[in-house]
């Protein structure tokens, strides 16, 4: 029984002959549980139940409607021999490797730039942060407007400059570049903002001491600021990893996974299988679960590495 539980508080014994006061029942309401209950209900309803459901469906051959049947490990077997799945894995890996370091690195660079004496830094901060306040769908449409191979702005400018055009949509490598660029555009503002907040906690005295010891600006950043920001960096790396694994809307709108399967990611593939024309909920759920396990493992490894460093 915990202290949050309801208790009856009996009146203290008295030696007087006066009649005892009427019994009052005092209730200690489980405030803590009431506080977290909404979140627990929502997490249970919209996270845990679908997760377990997806696990069950991964053992079924089933559409979203109509009859289905248990298929054992058939979906997993198909997955292991599915070239498109492995291509999606590779693409997700490449995309993650490209976006996570760049998001964090550029975010740090911009934060350092805008933390100090940059003129009009309030304006520039807003400019950099603005894309994060805009829906990624809008960002994707802007990307489409920029990188459309035929009527896009970038190719139009390149053509006017006499530099020729780039096959942004019909050449796999370039298509991946467009997706990475638009993702960075939508993300670096977040990294900058978090780093800006963290930079306020860097001890000025330590920086001054480093300066007195002869450390230049780059040495101070490298040996004082960056180590100081390690917890922030860890947070940003983990959150960017998860975002990169879950990339969907930018790819879906800008390239539709193409050309071929050059930009097909795990989530777009899971969506296409589960909700696209195939309507194969079972197989889509299997791809989704692989993504879940992958994210879990990478985050756990990051956590372990970070703990070891802290020790």
Partner 1 sequence: MSVDPFRPHSRPGAASASPPTLSPTRRTVLAGALGALATPTLTGCAGLTERVSANAGRRRDRLSVQVYGTDVEVAFYDRLARRFEQSRRGVTVDLVSVPFSEASVGIDAALASGTAPDVFRVDYPTMGVYASADQLLDVGDALSDLRTDISPAFLEAVSHGGRIYGMPQHIDTSGVVYRPDVLRDAGITSVPDRPQDAWSWEEFAQVAQRLTDKAPDGRSAFAVNWQALGAFRWLNWLFQAGGHLYDADQSAATLDTPAARRALDFTSSFFRRGWVPDSTSTKGATLPDAQFTSGTLAMVLAGNFLLPAFSETIGKRFGYAVTYLPQDHRAAGELGGNALVATRGAANPELAADFLAFLGAPAQMRDFCQASVLLPTRSSLLAQRLDFAVADDLMPVYAQQVRTIGERDVADVTTATFAEVNLALANELEQCFLGGRSTGATLSALADAVDQPAGLNDEGGRA
Dist CA 248 CA 180 (whole Å): 12
Cβ-based nearer residue to partner 1, 61 or 94:
61
Cβ-based nearer residue to partner 1, 278 or 305:
278
Nearest Cα residue to 269 out of 148, 95, 52, 65: 95
User: Which residues is 70 bridged to in the sheet?
Assistant: 60
- Smallest gap from Cβ 50 to partner 1, in A, equals 13
For 103, residues 6+ apart whose C-beta sits below 8 A from its C-beta are 183, 184, 187, 188, 191, 236, 240
- Smallest gap from Cβ 187 to partner 1, in A, equals 21
Question: What backbone torsions phi and psi does residue 91 show, to the nearest 5 degrees?
Answer: -60, -40
Cβ-based nearer residue to partner 1, 26 or 308:
26
- Smallest gap from Cβ 164 to partner 1, in A, equals 9
Cβ-based nearer residue to partner 1, 234 or 273:
273
Residue 57 DSSP class: H
- Smallest gap from Cβ 172 to partner 1, in A, equals 8
Nearest Cα residue to 307 out of 223, 229, 202, 234: 234
Cβ-based nearer residue to partner 1, 155 or 186:
155
Cβ-based nearer residue to partner 1, 28 or 223:
28
Dist CA 204 CA 226 (whole Å): 14
- Smallest gap from Cβ 184 to partner 1, in A, equals 19
Cβ-based nearer residue to partner 1, 133 or 161:
161
Dist CA 247 CA 260 (whole Å): 18
Interaction site with partner 1 (CB under 8 A): 5-6, 25, 27, 29-30, 34, 37-38, 41-42, 45, 61-69, 71, 84, 144, 148-151, 155, 159, 165, 167, 169-171, 253-261, 272, 275-280
Question: Maximum Cα–Cα distance for the chain, whole Å?
Answer: 107
Dist CA 31 CA 5 (whole Å): 10
- Smallest gap from Cβ 21 to partner 1, in A, equals 15
Dist CA 76 CA 278 (whole Å): 17
Cβ-based nearer residue to partner 1, 7 or 230:
7
- Smallest gap from Cβ 284 to partner 1, in A, equals 12
Cβ atoms of residues 229 and 195 within 8 Å: yes
- Smallest gap from Cβ 32 to partner 1, in A, equals 12
For 110, residues 6+ apart whose C-beta sits below 8 A from its C-beta are 128, 188, 191, 192, 195
Strand ranges inside the chain, DSSP E: 60-62, 68-70
């Amino acid at each position: 029984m915990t202290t949050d539980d309801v208790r009856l508080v009996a009146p203290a014994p008295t030696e007087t002959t006066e009649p005892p006061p009427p019994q009052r029942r005092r209730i200690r309401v489980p405030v803590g549980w009431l506080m977290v209950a909404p979140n627990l209900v929502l997490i249970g309803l919209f996270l845990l139940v679908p997760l377990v459901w997806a696990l069950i469906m991964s053992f079924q051959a089933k559409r979203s409607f109509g009859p289905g049947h248990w298929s054992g490990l058939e979906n997993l077997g198909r997955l292991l021999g599915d070239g498109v799945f492995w291509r999606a894995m590779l693409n997700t890996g490449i995309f993650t490797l490209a976006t996570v370091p760049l998001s964090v690195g550029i975010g740090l660079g911009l934060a350092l730039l805008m933390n100090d004496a940059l003129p009009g830094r309030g304006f520039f901060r807003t400019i950099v942060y603005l894309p994060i306040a805009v829906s990624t769908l809008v960002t994707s449409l802007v990307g489409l407007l920029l990188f459309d191979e035929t009527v896009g702005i970038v190719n139009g400018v390149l053509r006017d400059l006499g530099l020729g055009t780039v096959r942004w949509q019909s050449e796999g490598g370039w298509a991946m570049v467009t997706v990475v660029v638009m993702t960075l555009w939508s993300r670096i503002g977040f990294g900058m903002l978090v780093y800006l907040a963290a930079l306020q906690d860097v001890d000025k005295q330590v920086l001054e001491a480093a300066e007195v010891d002869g450390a230049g600006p780059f040495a101070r950043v490298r040996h004082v600021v960056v180590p100081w920001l390690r917890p922030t960096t860890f947070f940003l790396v983990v959150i960017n990893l998860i975002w990169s694994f879950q990339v969907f809307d930018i790819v879906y709108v800008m390239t539709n996974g193409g050309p071929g399967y050059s930009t097909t990611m795990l989530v777009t593939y899971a969506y296409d299988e589960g909700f696209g024309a195939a309507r194969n909920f079972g197989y889509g759920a299997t791809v989704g679960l692989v993504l879940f396990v992958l994210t879990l493992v990478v985050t756990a490894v990051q956590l372990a590495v970070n703990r070891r460093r802290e020790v």
